[in-house]
A and B are shown apart, each in its own frame.
Chain A
Amino acid sequence: MPEILVALYIFVLSCFIGYWVIWGVTPSLHTPLVALTNAISGIIILGALLATGLQGVGNLAEIFGFFAVLLASINIFGGFLVTQRMLAMFNKKKKK
């Protein structure tokens, strides 16, 4: 099976997982859900790392890569931390 078909298999099956998992999310946590998906879509940093760190490529690619790493990192740190902040608000009330 060519690589692109394997990728397609993975893509389609992941869509199904996404469908079922997301429907289970409680509506009161929809804002944290969006923030969390912000964070994990920062996974695009993998592409940025590969583009930046490749040896022997031009400076231009490195510069593009640097900005991609920067933006993806903002997503990762910003997303996870703000999710954490919100969830802490939901949780502290439980102790009451």
Chain B
Amino acid sequence: MKNPDVIFPALAFNHLIYDTMAQVFEYATEIWNMDVRIHSSEDMERVVKHLWSLSFEYGTRTPEYAQKFEQLKQTYDNRFPNGIGHLLDVKL
């Protein structure tokens, strides 16, 4: 198997992400008439902390990713021993 990172993600170049995402939002607001509202950092922190309690980002920015990936594979196999095909069939 090749490097499980696929594309090595130890540290993203966030200025590049932000530049491109800014284009995305510009496109979304000006072309698609989407509504993008910016929250205060305090409000955002409150929302995001709640989101963290609801989800878990596995995290691909760490150098331990290869080890974590092996753990994820085991977790995936245990949680979805028959894959996720049945969920896709029923819910989508």
State yes or no: do A and B come from one complex. no
Q: Which residues of A contact B (CB under 8 A)?
A: none
Q: Which residues of B contact A (CB under 8 A)?
A: none
